[in-house]
């Protein structure tokens, strides 16, 4: 089974090298690694191109937005399975093999899943076990409770090639939505199977949580908006309530994140005096 890995990237010079180094150290090498440069103004494409000897290919997508970058990467890929992570994801050496194994047919049904996903923890802040537990609950269990179907986590997911071709025309490109949640909604509506694999864990940066309250709200409001766009009113209301509660709960977490240097987790209390320690967000 060939696994392609797609990494959408927008101004990710600070993290893309570490991400690709981790992909280059896989026990089971990926068939290809596609970095989709989405109009970066920094050295993202140059850093990624330096990994050409490790199977990395850089393509450019002029239409701005994570959904367009993701679609371009999936369309370009040649693998039987299309993995997708973010540029700040640092996968362990067994990740590609774990993705391939997750697509094995279920012994009870004889059917393989159409997509797989797993949880994450934050590598640049302390209390990693708490972060993992929070991610399991908020990103996977809570969304399943609200919507009645599985969630996909864009930093740690994969689709079968056939599954992508089936769902491709149904996905939405509206601005201000979560493209991974949109994809999960359409997979569910088409009766396609998503397998959550708890052991398929990846570390990611907590940089977005370290943003200002305004920036964090701007990001999180896409959660209920995505549900509303798909007519899931109950899920949208639930997500809106959780968003407001989450902003209160995330404030002390934001201060904790801002007190640590992004990407390496070193304690730096002087960073609290800055307005925001978040890196430039994905569009």
Tell me what pLDDT residue 282 has. Answer: 40
Indicate the average pLDDT of the chain: 88
Pull the structure tokens for residue 8. 């959408």
Expressed in angstroms, the distance from the first to the final Cα of the chain is 33
Query: Is 83 in a helix, a strand, or coil?
Result: strand
Full residue range of the structural domain in which residue 120 is found: 3-273
Say what the alpha-carbon torsion angle 50, 55, 58, 64 is, to the nearest 10 degrees: -120
Residue 7 within any structural domain of the chain: yes
CATH number of domain containing 73: 3.90.550.10
Residue 283 within any structural domain of the chain: no
Pull the structure tokens for residue 217. 């709200």
The more confident residue out of 124 and 13 is 13
Residue 279 within any structural domain of the chain: no
CA distance 155 to 75: 18
- Number of domains, the chain: 1
Pull the structure tokens for residue 4. 């392609």
Question: pLDDT tens digits for 23-58?
Answer: 999 999 999 999 999 999 999 999 999 999 999 999
Tell me what pLDDT residue 266 has. Answer: 57
Tell me what pLDDT residue 265 has. Answer: 52
Interior angle at CA 61, CA 55 and CA 67, nearest 5:
100
Residue 165 within any structural domain of the chain: yes
Per-residue pLDDT, averaged over 135-152, amounts to: 93
| Helix and strand element counts for the chain (H, E) | 11, 9
State the helix-helix crossing angle for 222-229 and 213-220, rounded to 10 degrees.
Answer: 20
C-alpha 73, offset from chain centre: 14
pLDDT at 185 over 60: yes
Residue 89 within any structural domain of the chain: yes
How would residue 170 be classed by pLDDT, with cut points 50, 70 and 90? very high
On the 0-12 / 13-18 / 19+ scale of CB atoms within 10 A, 87 is buried
Tell me what pLDDT residue 36 has. Answer: 98
Tell me what pLDDT residue 141 has. Answer: 94
Residue 282 within any structural domain of the chain: no
Residue 250 within any structural domain of the chain: yes
Tell whether the torsion through CA atoms of 244, 246, 247 and 249 is positive or negative. positive
Tell me what pLDDT residue 248 has. Answer: 77
Provide CB contacts within 8 A for 86, sequence distance 6+.
7, 8, 19, 154, 155, 204, 282
Residue 241 within any structural domain of the chain: yes
Per-residue pLDDT, averaged over 149-176, amounts to: 95
Question: pLDDT tens digits for 77-95?
Answer: 999 999 999 999 999 999 9
Coarse DSSP helix, strand, coil percentages of the chain, rounded to the nearest 5 percent: 45, 15, 40
pLDDT at 279 over 70: no
Pull the structure tokens for residue 61. 């997508």
On the 0-12 / 13-18 / 19+ scale of CB atoms within 10 A, 245 is exposed
């Amino acid at each position: 089974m060939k696994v392609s890995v797609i990494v959408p990237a927008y101004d990710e010079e600070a993290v893309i090298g570490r991400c690709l180094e981790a992909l280059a150290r896989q026990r089971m090498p990926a068939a290809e690694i596609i970095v989709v440069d989405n109009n970066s103004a920094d050295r993202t494409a140059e850093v990624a191109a330096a990994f050409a000897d490790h199977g990395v290919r850089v393509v450019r997508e002029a239409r701005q937005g994570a959904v367009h970058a993701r679609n371009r990467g999936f369309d370009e890929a040649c693998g039987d399975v299309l993995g997708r992570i973010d540029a700040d994801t640092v996968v362990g050496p067994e990740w590609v093999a774990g993705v391939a194994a997750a697509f094995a047919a279920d012994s009870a049904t004889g059917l393989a899943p159409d997509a797989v996903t797993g949880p994450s923890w934050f590598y640049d802040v302390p209390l990693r076990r708490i972060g993992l537990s929070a991610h399991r609950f908020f990103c996977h269990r809570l969304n399943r409770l609200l919507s009645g179907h599985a969630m996909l986590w864009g930093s740690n997911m994969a689709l079968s090639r056939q599954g992508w071709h089936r769902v491709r025309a149904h996905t939405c490109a509206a601005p201000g939505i979560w493209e991974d949640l949109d994809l999960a909604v359409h997979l569910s509506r088409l009766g396609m199977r998503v397998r959550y694999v708890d052991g398929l864990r990846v570390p990611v940066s907590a940089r977005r949580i370290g943003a200002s309250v305004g920036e964090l709200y701007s990001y999180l409001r896409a959660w209920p908006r995505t549900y509303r766009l798909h007519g899931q009113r109950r899920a949208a209301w639930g997500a809106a309530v959780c968003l407001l509660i989450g902003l209160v709960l995330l404030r002390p977490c934001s201060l904790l994140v801002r007190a640590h240097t992004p990407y390496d987790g070193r304690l730096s209390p002087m960073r609290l005096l800055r307005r925001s320690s978040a890196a430039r967000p994905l569009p």
